[in-house]
Amino acid sequence: MSQLYVMCPECYLELPLRKTVGEEAYFMTVLGNVLDEASIASVVQTHAILSLETPITEVHFVHDPQCSVVKDNSSASASLEELIHKNRSFIAESAPDLPGVHFWCIRSRLSDGTLELASI
C-alpha cells in the first residue's frame, strides 16, 4: 500500500514532504493545486498507473498558504479555503472513485526539514 501526494511545483514541497511522510509515497504536481478537468484526469490516470504496481490507498492534496500561484491568481474574495472547497466538490463530481482523498495545509516548516500539516 502506498500514497499519492499532489502538490504545487512552485512551492518546492517534494523534499520536505518526503522527509515528513517517508518513502512509501509518490508525488505529482499540479500548478497551485488548482484542479480542472485536465489536471484531475491526470491525477486519476497517475493513480491508476501507480496502482498497477502497488495499491494507492490515499490521495493527499497539500496546500501551502504561501503559494504564490494561488495568491497571484485569486481575487480578494477567493481564499485558500474556498479553493479547497472547490477542489473537494470538483473531485466528488468528476472523480468520485478516487480513494481516501485528504486535504492538508502547511502549518509550519520545522527546523529538521519536515512539515507540520493541518488537515482541512
Q: Given phi > 0 = left and psi -120 to 50 = alpha, else beta, which region is 26?
A: beta
Applying CB under 5 A, the span of 22-30, 65-73, 82-90, 102-110 interacting with Zn ion comes to: 65-73
At closest approach, how far in Å is the CB of 10 from Zn ion?
A: 4
Neighbour count for residue 30 (Cβ, 10 Å) = 20
At closest approach, how far in Å is the CB of 53 from Zn ion?
A: 28
SS3 content of the chain, % helix, strand, coil (to 5): 40, 30, 30
From 4, 5, 6, 8, residue interacting with Zn ion (rule: CB under 5 A): 8
Neighbour count for residue 61 (Cβ, 10 Å) = 23
Q: What 3-state class would DSSP assign to 104?
A: strand
At closest approach, how far in Å is the CB of 43 from Zn ion?
A: 16
68, amino acid identity: S
Question: Which residue's CB is nearer to Zn ion, number 18 or number 51?
Answer: 18
At closest approach, how far in Å is the CB of 69 from Zn ion?
A: 5
Binding status of residue 67 toward Zn ion by CB under 5 A: yes
From 34, 69, 95, 120, residue interacting with Zn ion (rule: CB under 5 A): 69
Binding status of residue 11 toward Zn ion by CB under 5 A: yes
Q: What 3-state class would DSSP assign to 3?
A: strand
Binding footprint of Zn ion on the chain (CB under 5 A): 8, 10-11, 67, 69
